[in-house]
Amino acid sequence: MKAALLAQDGSVLFEARRPTGREHGTDAVVAAILDFATDLADEGRSRFGVAPLAAGVAVPGTIDEKNGIAVFSANLGWRELPLRKLLGERLAGPDGGAMPVALGHDVRSGGLAEGRLGAGRGVDRFLFIALGTGIAGAIGIDGRIEAGAHGYGGEIGHVVVRPGGPQCGCGARGCLETLASASAVSRAWAETSGDPDADAASCAAAVDAGDDRALAVWQRAVDALADGIVLAQSLLDPSTVIVGGGLAEAGDTLFTPLRAAVTGRLTFQMPPKVVPAMLKDTAASLGAGLLAWDLLSMEVTA
Ligand SMILES: [Zn+2]
């Protein structure tokens, strides 16, 4: 878990991280979240003499942002968890009034932070793609993230780029994340190299060293990713595509062939700038803080 105290202008006043403790079960994770938030609020009080005005929390899985419910997370094990209510009560002020809490999705919150504080600063239309264990995305429009009608907007990892391809956890075949996630590249490189410990980083290193087998594995992922990006370009026409997550750590080894593969596929579409994410693994926590500030500005407006 990553956490931060965030000033209204988005500057980071304090940062901390802790393990989720998920090996101890779902209840332990929820308790750890509530404890972490309480300690962070205390940190704010002791450092700045005032309690935080609002809290934001970003979690993976399916989220009901409107009702503040963490609906489902395969990794953390919860179902229908009323996280906003639990946090608001736990962070209640001395007068007993619950603290306003915003609940967000981790990748969309990360995209929000990239858009306002990171690689998307000053960009009015962007697509954020996180290449990690899976592939997730966020559609940035005018400083906010478009979550869609049901909260599934931006799920570029489940765009089918190879019909009939590898089985995806979502039930379909040939989804982008089965081909171009860090995990997919790790799997493919472990199989090709015969080294069970080989991963995406060692594949990137082998590409840099000129290994033809690694290059073939890498290019397969790059081609799939380019197909996904071109599909998104045709639908959304973003000016910038921000790529983050573990695979983006490969830097130019990824971005140089990826830009070429995207440009080579475009026909009438304008080429997007394809850039690395700037905020790394703290993006979601910063985005959660921005959601909290947005909540307060909405209250003022209302
Ligand atoms: Zn899928």
Ligand 1 centre to CA of 179 (Å) is 10
Nearest residue to 2 (alpha-carbon basis) of 64, 57, 81 = 57
Give a yes or no: residue 112 inside a domain.
no
Query: In the beta sheet, which residues pair with residue 243?
Result: 129, 276
- The reply to whether 288 and 262 lie within a common domain is no
> Angle at which helices 182-193 and 200-208 pack, to 10 degrees?
70
Range of the domain at 175: 119-277
Give a yes or no: residue 192 inside a domain.
yes
Give a yes or no: residue 156 inside a domain.
yes
Give a yes or no: residue 206 inside a domain.
yes
Structure-token pair, residue 45: 């009080």
Query: In the beta sheet, which residues pair with residue 161?
Result: none
Give a yes or no: residue 113 inside a domain.
no
Ligand 1 centre to CA of 194 (Å) is 27
Residue 75 is predicted with a pLDDT of: 82
Residue 97 is predicted with a pLDDT of: 79
- The reply to whether 96 and 245 lie within a common domain is no
- The reply to whether 238 and 268 lie within a common domain is yes
Ligand 1 centre to CA of 216 (Å) is 23
Structure-token pair, residue 139: 């559609």
**Helix ranges (DSSP H) in 54-199:** 83-90, 106-117, 177-180, 182-193
- The reply to whether 9 and 86 lie within a common domain is yes
Ligand 1 centre to CA of 36 (Å) is 33
> Rounded CA gap, 111 and 143, in Å?
10
Nearest residue to 116 (alpha-carbon basis) of 16, 14, 11 = 11
Instruction: Write the pLDDT tens digit of every residue in 133-182.
Output: 999 999 999 989 998 988 889 999 999 999 999 999 999 999 999 999 99
Task: Reply yes or no on whether the pLDDT at 302 is more than 60.
Answer: no
Q: Which helix (H) or strand (E) holds 219?
A: helix 212-236
Ligand 1 centre to CA of 156 (Å) is 9
Confidence of residue 301 (pLDDT cuts 50, 70, 90): low
Q: Give the three-state DSSP class for 44.
A: helix
Instruction: Write the pLDDT tens digit of every residue in 98-107.
Output: 889 999 999 9
Give a yes or no: residue 185 inside a domain.
yes
Structure-token pair, residue 78: 């919860």
For residue 111, how many C-alpha atoms fall within 13 Å in the half-sphere facing its CB?
Answer: 32
- The reply to whether 67 and 91 lie within a common domain is yes
CATH number for the domain spanning 72: value is 3.30.420.40
- The reply to whether 128 and 212 lie within a common domain is yes
Task: Reply yes or no on whether the pLDDT at 86 is more than 70.
Answer: yes
- The reply to whether 151 and 52 lie within a common domain is no
Sequence-ordered list of residues with C-beta below 8 angstroms from that of 121, at least 6 positions apart, any chain = 115
Residue 51 is predicted with a pLDDT of: 87
